[in-house]
Structure 1
Amino acid sequence: MIKIFIYHEEECNRKKCTSLRLGRKGFAKIVKTMNQIPRGAIVLNPLSKKALSREDKQRIIRHGLAAIDCSWKNVRKSSEIFKVGRYHRALPFLVAANPIAYGRPFVLSTAEAIASTLYIIGLKDMAKEIMSNFKWGPHFLQLNKELLDAYSKAKTSKEVVKIQKEVMEGIKNG
Protein backbone atom coordinates (compact mmCIF):
# COMPACT_ATOMS: atom_id res chain seq x y z
CA MET A 1 0.00 0.00 0.00
CA ILE A 2 1.27 3.44 -0.92
CA LYS A 3 1.77 5.82 1.98
CA ILE A 4 -0.15 9.03 1.29
CA PHE A 5 0.37 12.16 3.36
CA ILE A 6 -1.71 15.32 3.18
CA TYR A 7 -0.58 18.57 4.73
CA HIS A 8 -3.85 20.29 5.53
CA GLU A 9 -3.92 24.11 5.62
CA GLU A 10 -7.42 24.30 7.20
CA GLU A 11 -8.66 26.64 4.44
CA CYS A 12 -11.68 24.65 3.30
CA ASN A 13 -15.20 23.66 4.21
CA ARG A 14 -14.55 20.62 6.42
CA LYS A 15 -17.80 18.95 5.31
CA LYS A 16 -16.76 19.03 1.64
CA CYS A 17 -13.03 18.44 2.11
CA THR A 18 -11.79 15.48 0.08
CA SER A 19 -8.55 15.29 2.08
CA LEU A 20 -10.29 14.89 5.40
CA ARG A 21 -12.56 12.20 3.95
CA LEU A 22 -9.53 10.28 2.66
CA GLY A 23 -7.99 10.60 6.12
CA ARG A 24 -11.15 9.32 7.85
CA LYS A 25 -11.36 6.38 5.44
CA GLY A 26 -7.73 5.40 6.11
CA PHE A 27 -6.37 6.22 2.64
CA ALA A 28 -4.17 9.08 3.81
CA LYS A 29 -2.52 10.45 6.90
CA ILE A 30 -3.39 14.09 7.59
CA VAL A 31 -0.33 15.95 8.89
CA LYS A 32 -0.09 19.33 10.59
CA THR A 33 3.52 20.20 9.69
CA MET A 34 5.65 19.72 6.59
CA ASN A 35 8.21 17.93 8.78
CA GLN A 36 5.79 15.00 9.03
CA ILE A 37 6.12 14.31 5.30
CA PRO A 38 8.84 11.69 4.80
CA ARG A 39 12.09 12.77 3.19
CA GLY A 40 12.18 11.72 -0.42
CA ALA A 41 8.39 11.58 -0.87
CA ILE A 42 6.97 12.95 -4.10
CA VAL A 43 5.10 16.18 -3.30
CA LEU A 44 2.31 17.27 -5.63
CA ASN A 45 2.97 20.91 -6.39
CA PRO A 46 1.07 22.87 -9.04
CA LEU A 47 4.01 25.30 -9.25
CA SER A 48 6.64 22.63 -9.96
CA LYS A 49 8.60 22.78 -13.19
CA LYS A 50 8.67 18.98 -13.52
CA ALA A 51 5.62 16.91 -14.45
CA LEU A 52 4.68 13.70 -12.70
CA SER A 53 5.30 10.55 -14.75
CA ARG A 54 5.76 6.79 -14.46
CA GLU A 55 9.42 7.42 -13.66
CA ASP A 56 8.24 8.57 -10.19
CA LYS A 57 6.56 5.25 -9.33
CA GLN A 58 9.44 3.63 -7.43
CA ARG A 59 10.07 6.76 -5.36
CA ILE A 60 6.37 6.92 -4.45
CA ILE A 61 6.34 3.23 -3.51
CA ARG A 62 9.51 3.63 -1.42
CA HIS A 63 8.98 7.05 0.19
CA GLY A 64 5.31 7.94 -0.27
CA LEU A 65 3.18 10.58 -1.91
CA ALA A 66 2.35 13.94 -0.37
CA ALA A 67 -0.29 16.49 -1.25
CA ILE A 68 -0.82 19.93 0.18
CA ASP A 69 -4.44 20.85 0.73
CA CYS A 70 -4.80 24.60 0.46
CA SER A 71 -7.28 26.88 -1.22
CA TRP A 72 -6.67 27.50 -4.92
CA LYS A 73 -7.35 31.17 -4.13
CA ASN A 74 -4.37 31.15 -1.77
CA VAL A 75 -2.02 28.83 -3.66
CA ARG A 76 0.43 31.63 -4.47
CA LYS A 77 0.42 32.72 -0.82
CA SER A 78 1.09 29.11 0.19
CA SER A 79 3.92 28.84 -2.34
CA GLU A 80 6.51 29.09 0.45
CA ILE A 81 5.37 25.64 1.54
CA PHE A 82 5.97 24.33 -1.96
CA LYS A 83 9.59 25.52 -2.04
CA VAL A 84 10.77 22.90 0.48
CA GLY A 85 12.24 19.73 -1.04
CA ARG A 86 13.35 18.63 -4.46
CA TYR A 87 10.93 15.86 -5.36
CA HIS A 88 8.03 18.10 -6.33
CA ARG A 89 5.87 17.27 -9.33
CA ALA A 90 3.05 19.03 -11.15
CA LEU A 91 0.14 17.16 -12.61
CA PRO A 92 -0.53 17.62 -16.32
CA PHE A 93 -3.73 19.02 -17.82
CA LEU A 94 -6.81 17.35 -16.35
CA VAL A 95 -10.35 18.61 -15.80
CA ALA A 96 -12.02 18.68 -12.38
CA ALA A 97 -15.22 16.73 -11.80
CA ASN A 98 -15.76 17.75 -8.17
CA PRO A 99 -18.86 19.90 -7.50
CA ILE A 100 -16.81 22.94 -6.43
CA ALA A 101 -14.68 23.25 -9.59
CA TYR A 102 -16.50 21.08 -12.15
CA GLY A 103 -15.14 21.49 -15.66
CA ARG A 104 -12.23 23.70 -14.65
CA PRO A 105 -8.85 22.57 -15.97
CA PHE A 106 -5.99 22.16 -13.48
CA VAL A 107 -8.21 23.01 -10.46
CA LEU A 108 -8.42 19.53 -8.97
CA SER A 109 -9.48 18.55 -5.49
CA THR A 110 -6.82 16.83 -3.41
CA ALA A 111 -8.54 13.47 -3.93
CA GLU A 112 -8.57 14.02 -7.71
CA ALA A 113 -4.88 14.93 -7.63
CA ILE A 114 -3.94 11.85 -5.62
CA ALA A 115 -6.05 9.53 -7.78
CA SER A 116 -4.56 11.07 -10.94
CA THR A 117 -1.07 10.46 -9.61
CA LEU A 118 -1.81 6.83 -8.84
CA TYR A 119 -3.41 6.31 -12.25
CA ILE A 120 -0.51 7.90 -14.12
CA ILE A 121 2.11 5.79 -12.32
CA GLY A 122 0.17 2.64 -13.15
CA LEU A 123 -1.85 2.01 -9.98
CA LYS A 124 -5.23 2.37 -11.68
CA ASP A 125 -7.13 0.10 -9.28
CA MET A 126 -5.98 2.14 -6.30
CA ALA A 127 -7.01 5.35 -8.10
CA LYS A 128 -10.47 3.86 -8.71
CA GLU A 129 -10.75 2.77 -5.08
CA ILE A 130 -9.94 6.27 -3.85
CA MET A 131 -12.41 7.93 -6.22
CA SER A 132 -15.17 5.45 -5.27
CA ASN A 133 -15.42 7.36 -1.97
CA PHE A 134 -17.07 10.30 -3.75
CA LYS A 135 -20.37 10.36 -5.68
CA TRP A 136 -18.64 12.23 -8.50
CA GLY A 137 -15.36 10.28 -8.22
CA PRO A 138 -15.91 7.65 -10.92
CA HIS A 139 -17.03 10.44 -13.26
CA PHE A 140 -13.67 12.20 -12.76
CA LEU A 141 -11.82 9.11 -13.99
CA GLN A 142 -14.21 8.69 -16.92
CA LEU A 143 -14.06 12.38 -17.87
CA ASN A 144 -10.25 12.26 -17.98
CA LYS A 145 -9.81 8.64 -19.13
CA GLU A 146 -8.17 9.40 -22.49
CA LEU A 147 -5.76 11.88 -20.92
CA LEU A 148 -4.94 9.64 -17.95
CA ASP A 149 -4.33 6.67 -20.25
CA ALA A 150 -2.04 8.76 -22.48
CA TYR A 151 -0.10 10.17 -19.52
CA SER A 152 0.23 6.72 -17.96
CA LYS A 153 1.89 5.41 -21.14
CA ALA A 154 4.50 8.18 -21.10
CA LYS A 155 7.76 7.00 -19.56
CA THR A 156 9.22 10.37 -18.59
CA SER A 157 8.23 13.82 -17.46
CA LYS A 158 9.25 15.21 -20.86
CA GLU A 159 6.90 12.80 -22.62
CA VAL A 160 4.03 13.83 -20.31
CA VAL A 161 4.71 17.50 -21.06
CA LYS A 162 4.75 16.73 -24.81
CA ILE A 163 1.33 15.03 -24.56
CA GLN A 164 -0.01 17.93 -22.51
CA LYS A 165 1.27 20.42 -25.07
CA GLU A 166 -0.48 18.52 -27.89
CA VAL A 167 -3.71 18.46 -25.87
CA MET A 168 -3.51 22.18 -25.12
CA GLU A 169 -2.83 23.00 -28.79
CA GLY A 170 -5.80 20.86 -29.80
CA ILE A 171 -8.05 22.75 -27.38
CA LYS A 172 -6.70 26.11 -28.51
CA ASN A 173 -7.25 25.26 -32.18
CA GLY A 174 -10.70 23.86 -31.41
Structure 2
Amino acid sequence: MKVTVFHANECDRKKCTSIKMEKLGKCKLVYNINKIPSGAVVLNPFAQKAVSYEDYRYVHRRGVVGLDCSWNEVSSSKKFFSLSKYHRSLPFLIATNPVNYGKPCILSTVEAVSATLYITRFKDEAKDILDGFKWGHTFLELNHDLLEAYSEADTSKDVVRVQNEFLESKE
Protein backbone atom coordinates (compact mmCIF):
# COMPACT_ATOMS: atom_id res chain seq x y z
CA MET A 1 0.00 0.00 0.00
CA LYS A 2 1.46 3.33 -1.03
CA VAL A 3 1.36 5.95 1.72
CA THR A 4 2.79 9.38 1.06
CA VAL A 5 2.89 12.22 3.56
CA PHE A 6 3.51 15.84 2.72
CA HIS A 7 5.52 17.17 5.66
CA ALA A 8 5.13 20.90 6.28
CA ASN A 9 7.89 21.11 8.93
CA GLU A 10 5.56 22.62 11.53
CA CYS A 11 5.72 19.97 14.22
CA ASP A 12 7.88 18.80 17.08
CA ARG A 13 10.04 16.26 15.23
CA LYS A 14 10.37 14.12 18.38
CA LYS A 15 6.59 13.61 18.51
CA CYS A 16 5.97 13.50 14.75
CA THR A 17 4.15 10.34 13.69
CA SER A 18 4.96 10.73 10.00
CA ILE A 19 8.70 10.91 10.66
CA LYS A 20 8.39 7.74 12.73
CA MET A 21 6.31 6.09 9.99
CA GLU A 22 9.06 6.85 7.50
CA LYS A 23 11.75 5.46 9.83
CA LEU A 24 9.66 2.29 10.12
CA GLY A 25 9.42 2.07 6.33
CA LYS A 26 5.65 2.63 6.31
CA CYS A 27 5.44 5.83 4.27
CA LYS A 28 7.33 8.13 1.98
CA LEU A 29 7.76 11.69 3.24
CA VAL A 30 7.80 14.48 0.71
CA TYR A 31 8.67 18.09 1.40
CA ASN A 32 7.84 19.40 -2.06
CA ILE A 33 4.15 19.60 -2.84
CA ASN A 34 4.83 18.65 -6.47
CA LYS A 35 6.04 15.20 -5.35
CA ILE A 36 2.57 14.14 -4.24
CA PRO A 37 1.32 11.29 -6.45
CA SER A 38 -1.58 12.15 -8.72
CA GLY A 39 -4.73 10.09 -8.40
CA ALA A 40 -4.16 9.26 -4.74
CA VAL A 41 -6.76 9.91 -2.04
CA VAL A 42 -5.71 13.13 -0.32
CA LEU A 43 -6.79 13.48 3.30
CA ASN A 44 -8.30 16.91 3.69
CA PRO A 45 -10.18 17.97 6.83
CA PHE A 46 -12.12 20.51 4.71
CA ALA A 47 -13.24 18.07 2.00
CA GLN A 48 -16.94 17.85 1.27
CA LYS A 49 -16.80 14.09 0.78
CA ALA A 50 -15.96 11.54 3.48
CA VAL A 51 -13.65 8.64 2.79
CA SER A 52 -15.56 5.42 2.13
CA TYR A 53 -15.35 2.07 0.40
CA GLU A 54 -16.02 3.98 -2.84
CA ASP A 55 -12.37 5.05 -2.58
CA TYR A 56 -11.02 1.49 -2.46
CA ARG A 57 -9.78 1.48 -6.05
CA TYR A 58 -8.02 4.85 -5.72
CA VAL A 59 -6.31 3.79 -2.51
CA HIS A 60 -5.39 0.44 -4.07
CA ARG A 61 -3.97 1.96 -7.28
CA ARG A 62 -2.46 5.25 -6.13
CA GLY A 63 -2.43 5.17 -2.34
CA VAL A 64 -3.18 7.67 0.39
CA VAL A 65 -1.65 11.10 0.93
CA GLY A 66 -1.61 12.61 4.39
CA LEU A 67 -0.70 16.11 5.43
CA ASP A 68 1.61 16.51 8.39
CA CYS A 69 1.22 20.02 9.69
CA SER A 70 0.19 21.73 12.88
CA TRP A 71 -3.56 21.68 13.48
CA ASN A 72 -3.14 25.40 14.25
CA GLU A 73 -1.81 25.98 10.72
CA VAL A 74 -3.89 23.53 8.68
CA SER A 75 -6.06 26.21 7.08
CA SER A 76 -2.95 27.88 5.65
CA SER A 77 -2.12 24.74 3.66
CA LYS A 78 -4.56 25.62 0.87
CA LYS A 79 -2.16 24.75 -1.96
CA PHE A 80 -1.94 21.19 -0.66
CA PHE A 81 -5.70 20.87 -0.93
CA SER A 82 -5.79 21.88 -4.60
CA LEU A 83 -3.67 18.97 -5.80
CA SER A 84 -6.10 16.14 -6.36
CA LYS A 85 -9.69 15.55 -7.24
CA TYR A 86 -9.88 12.77 -4.66
CA HIS A 87 -10.00 14.85 -1.49
CA ARG A 88 -11.60 13.10 1.43
CA SER A 89 -12.31 13.98 5.02
CA LEU A 90 -12.53 11.51 7.85
CA PRO A 91 -15.67 10.93 9.88
CA PHE A 92 -15.85 11.31 13.65
CA LEU A 93 -13.11 9.38 15.46
CA ILE A 94 -11.31 9.85 18.78
CA ALA A 95 -7.55 10.46 18.86
CA THR A 96 -5.44 8.24 21.10
CA ASN A 97 -2.03 9.74 20.38
CA PRO A 98 -0.24 11.22 23.41
CA VAL A 99 -0.57 14.82 22.19
CA ASN A 100 -4.34 14.84 21.57
CA TYR A 101 -5.56 11.82 23.54
CA GLY A 102 -9.33 11.71 23.83
CA LYS A 103 -9.95 14.65 21.53
CA PRO A 104 -12.48 14.06 18.78
CA CYS A 105 -11.35 14.50 15.19
CA ILE A 106 -7.85 15.81 15.96
CA LEU A 107 -5.96 12.79 14.73
CA SER A 108 -2.25 12.39 14.18
CA THR A 109 -1.11 11.62 10.66
CA VAL A 110 -0.65 7.91 11.40
CA GLU A 111 -4.14 7.71 12.94
CA ALA A 112 -5.66 9.44 9.91
CA VAL A 113 -3.90 7.15 7.45
CA SER A 114 -4.81 4.07 9.48
CA ALA A 115 -8.47 5.15 9.63
CA THR A 116 -8.51 5.71 5.87
CA LEU A 117 -7.08 2.27 5.22
CA TYR A 118 -9.54 0.66 7.64
CA ILE A 119 -12.58 2.43 6.19
CA THR A 120 -11.57 1.47 2.64
CA ARG A 121 -11.33 -2.14 3.86
CA PHE A 122 -7.56 -2.46 3.98
CA LYS A 123 -7.87 -3.54 7.61
CA ASP A 124 -4.63 -5.51 7.86
CA GLU A 125 -2.71 -2.57 6.42
CA ALA A 126 -4.49 -0.22 8.85
CA LYS A 127 -3.30 -2.34 11.76
CA ASP A 128 0.19 -2.72 10.33
CA ILE A 129 0.78 1.00 9.91
CA LEU A 130 0.13 1.49 13.63
CA ASP A 131 2.73 -1.14 14.61
CA GLY A 132 5.66 0.61 16.20
CA PHE A 133 3.46 3.11 18.05
CA LYS A 134 2.90 2.09 21.69
CA TRP A 135 -0.59 3.57 21.62
CA GLY A 136 -1.46 2.41 18.08
CA HIS A 137 -3.59 -0.55 19.14
CA THR A 138 -5.56 1.77 21.43
CA PHE A 139 -6.69 3.83 18.44
CA LEU A 140 -8.21 0.78 16.79
CA GLU A 141 -9.68 -0.55 20.04
CA LEU A 142 -11.30 2.72 21.11
CA ASN A 143 -12.71 3.41 17.64
CA HIS A 144 -13.42 -0.22 16.70
CA ASP A 145 -17.21 -0.06 16.49
CA LEU A 146 -17.19 3.17 14.50
CA LEU A 147 -14.43 1.99 12.16
CA GLU A 148 -16.31 -1.24 11.53
CA ALA A 149 -19.54 0.63 10.82
CA TYR A 150 -17.77 3.09 8.52
CA SER A 151 -16.03 0.25 6.66
CA GLU A 152 -19.37 -1.48 6.10
CA ALA A 153 -20.80 1.68 4.53
CA ASP A 154 -20.43 1.62 0.76
CA THR A 155 -20.63 5.33 -0.01
CA SER A 156 -19.58 8.63 1.46
CA LYS A 157 -23.22 9.44 2.17
CA ASP A 158 -23.56 6.18 4.09
CA VAL A 159 -20.46 7.00 6.16
CA VAL A 160 -21.88 10.42 7.02
CA ARG A 161 -25.21 8.81 7.94
CA VAL A 162 -23.44 6.34 10.28
CA GLN A 163 -21.49 9.21 11.83
CA ASN A 164 -24.61 11.32 12.35
CA GLU A 165 -26.54 8.43 13.87
CA PHE A 166 -23.68 7.82 16.29
CA LEU A 167 -23.44 11.49 17.27
CA GLU A 168 -27.22 11.78 17.72
CA SER A 169 -27.20 8.74 19.98
CA LYS A 170 -24.68 10.50 22.25
CA GLU A 171 -26.76 13.67 22.71
Q: Normalising by structure 2, what TM-score?
A: 0.97
Q: Equivalent residue of 1:43, what SS?
A: strand
Q: Structure 1: any 5+ residue segments left out of the alignment?
A: none
Q: Structure 2: any 5+ residue segments left out of the alignment?
A: none
RMSD between aligned alpha carbons? 0.9
Amino acid of the structure 1 residue aligned with 2:153: A
Number of the residue aligned with 1:160: 159
Number of equivalences = 171
Q: Equivalent residue of 1:116, what SS?
A: helix
The whole-number CA distance in structure 2 between the counterparts of 1:109 and 1:48 is 17
Shift of 1:116: 0.5
Q: Is 1:22 equivalent to 2:5 in the alignment?
A: no
The whole-number CA distance in structure 2 between the counterparts of 1:54 and 1:108 is 20
Number of the residue aligned with 2:113: 114
The whole-number CA distance in structure 1 between the counterparts of 2:11 and 2:76 is 15
Asked whether the equivalents of residues 40 and 84 of structure 2 are also in contact (C-alpha less than 8 Å), the reply is: no
4+ residue runs of structure 1 moved beyond 3 angstroms?
A: none
**Deviations 1:131-151 (CA, angstroms, capped at 9, x unpaired):** 121111000100000000000
Asked whether the equivalents of residues 94 and 104 of structure 2 are also in contact (C-alpha less than 8 Å), the reply is: yes
Q: Equivalent residue of 1:67, what SS?
A: strand
Moved more, 137-146 or 82-91: 82-91
Q: Normalising by structure 1, what TM-score?
A: 0.95
The whole-number CA distance in structure 2 between the counterparts of 1:130 and 1:42 is 17
Amino acid of the structure 1 residue aligned with 2:8: E
Number of the residue aligned with 2:35: 36
Number of the residue aligned with 1:137: 136
Amino acid of the structure 2 residue aligned with 1:5: T
**Deviations 1:68-94 (CA, angstroms, capped at 9, x unpaired):** 101001111223321332110000000
Number of the residue aligned with 1:60: 59
Amino acid of the structure 1 residue aligned with 2:159: V
Residues 89-100 of structure 1 correspond to what in structure 2 (within 5 A)? 89-100=88-99
Asked whether the equivalents of residues 95 and 102 of structure 2 are also in contact (C-alpha less than 8 Å), the reply is: yes
